[in-house]
């Protein structure tokens, strides 16, 4: 399986049943995992390995956020990591009830990568031109990322599915 988890998470792919394609030629990434999914796709293409589909689920898209926002996120994480993570996961599920998700240890470096990563249109076009179908799924009620900016950006190279009432986990209830 080629599923890359979101920040602080593991084994959350069950939340995306009916959306993700789980096979050896599809690479999936949720939120922070979208970064790794893109890197893995580029690596496989470079190694002449087959990739049919790249699915990005609520990709962590912060390149339109101001430095002040990013600094505040890092400061809050460093000040009280446990509280930050609790609020972060709660925001991911808002406005709906939280589901059970498994967690893994995180680091400030991972949060920095999440906040500072800039998606490359050039890389995504290379992936697309290699014959890989790029699918992006966004929730209209996502309170984590800038959904409209992400939608506008990814429409240049991908099929974007916008789920109007979905949160960051693409849940609608």
Q: What is the mean pLDDT of residues 143-163?
A: 97
| DSSP assigned state of 14 | G
Going along the chain from its start, the domains and CATH numbers come out as 3-163 (3.40.50.1820)
Decide: pTM greater than 0.85.
yes
Sheet with 159-163, strands from edge to edge, namely 3-4, 26-30, 53-57, 133-139, 159-163
Find, among 60, 34, 83, 11, the residue nearest to 168 by Cα. Answer: 60
User: pLDDT, tens digit, for every residue of 20-78?
Assistant: 988 999 999 999 999 999 999 999 999 999 999 999 999 999 999 999 999 999 999 99
Q: What are the helix and strand counts (H, E) for the chain?
A: 6, 7
Quote the pLDDT of residue 96. 87
Q: How confident is the model at residue 129 (pLDDT cuts 50, 70, 90)?
A: very high
How far apart, in whole angstroms, are the C-alpha atoms of residue 56 and residue 27?
9
Q: Are 149 and 64 in contact (CB under 8 A)?
A: yes
Given a cut of 80, whether residue 1 has pLDDT beyond it is no
Find, among 62, 77, 53, 71, the residue nearest to 31 by Cα. Answer: 62
Mean pLDDT value across the chain: 95
């Amino acid at each position: 399986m080629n599923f890359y988890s979101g920040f602080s998470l593991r084994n959350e792919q069950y939340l995306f049943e009916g959306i993700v394609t789980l096979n050896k030629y599809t690479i999936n990434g949720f939120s922070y995992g979208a970064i790794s999914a893109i890197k893995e796709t580029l690596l496989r293409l470079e190694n002449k390995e087959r990739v049919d589909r790249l699915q990005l689920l609520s990709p962590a898209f912060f390149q339109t956020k101001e430095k002040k926002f990013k600094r505040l996120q890092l400061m809050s994480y460093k000040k009280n990591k446990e509280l930050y993570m609790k609020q972060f996961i709660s925001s991911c599920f808002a406005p709906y009830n939280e589901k059970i998700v498994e967690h893994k240890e995180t680091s400030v470096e991972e949060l920095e990568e999440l906040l500072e990563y800039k998606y490359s249109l050039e890389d995504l076009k290379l992936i697309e031109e290699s014959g890989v179908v790029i699918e992006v799924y966004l929730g209209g009620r996502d309170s984590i990322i800038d959904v409209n900016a992400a939608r506008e950006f990814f429409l240049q190279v991908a099929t974007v599915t916008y789920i109007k009432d979905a949160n960051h986990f693409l849940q609608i209830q």
